[in-house]
Amino acid sequence: MIFQRKSGIILHPTSLPGPDGIGDLGPEAYHWIDFLSQAGCGLWQILPLGPTGYGDSPYQCFSAFAGNPYLISPALLMEQNLLKRTDLTDRPVFPENSIDFGSVIEWKLTLINRAYQRFLKTSNSSLIKGYEEFCETEKEWLIDFAFFMAIKENQGGVSWDNWPESLRTRSEKAMEDFASKNAAAIEKQKFRQFLFFEQWARICKYAASKGVQIIGDIPIFVSYDSADAWAHPELFYLNEKGKPTCVAGVPPDYFSPTGQLWGNPLYRWDVHKKQGYSWWIKRVHSVLKAVDIIRLDHFRGFAGYWEVPAGMPTAEIGRWTKGPGKSVFKALETEFHGLPILAEDLGEITPDVIDLRDSYNLPGMKIFQFAFSSTPDDPFLPHNYPQNCVAYTGTHDNDTARGWYETAPEDERDFCRRYLACSGDDISWDMIRAVWSSTAVFALAPLQDLLCLGQEGRMNFPGKPAGNWGWRFESGRLSPDLIQRLKEMNFLYSR
Q: What are the residue numbers of the active site?
A: 297, 344, 397
Which amino acid is residue 416, in one-letter code? C
Query: Of 475, 472, 450, whose CA–CA distance to 459 is shortest?
Result: 472
Residue 457 CA to residue 447 CA, distance in Å, equals: 9
- Residue 314: CB atoms within 10 A of its CB come to 17
Residue 193 CA to residue 225 CA, distance in Å, equals: 18
Kindly provide the residue ranges of all beta strands, DSSP E only, lying in 385-449, ordered along the sequence: 389-392, 442-446
Handedness of CA 236, 239, 242, 244 (dihedral sign): negative
Query: In the beta sheet, which residues pair with residue 247?
Result: 265, 308
351: buried, middle or exposed (CB in 10 Å: 19+, 13-18, 0-12)?
Answer: exposed
Whats the size of the chain, residue-wise? 495
Report the half-sphere exposure of 8 (CA within 13 A, side-chain side).
Answer: 27
Eight-class DSSP state of 471: B
Rounded to whole angstroms, what are the CA distances from 64 to 51, 200, 246, 367? 9, 16, 20, 27
Residue 354 CA to residue 92 CA, distance in Å, equals: 50
Cα 314 to chain centroid, rounded? 24
Q: Decide the pairing of beta strands 260-265 and 293-297.
A: unpaired
The C-alpha angle with vertex 346 and arms to 341 and 352, in degrees rounded to 5, equals: 80
Residue 63 CA to residue 224 CA, distance in Å, equals: 10
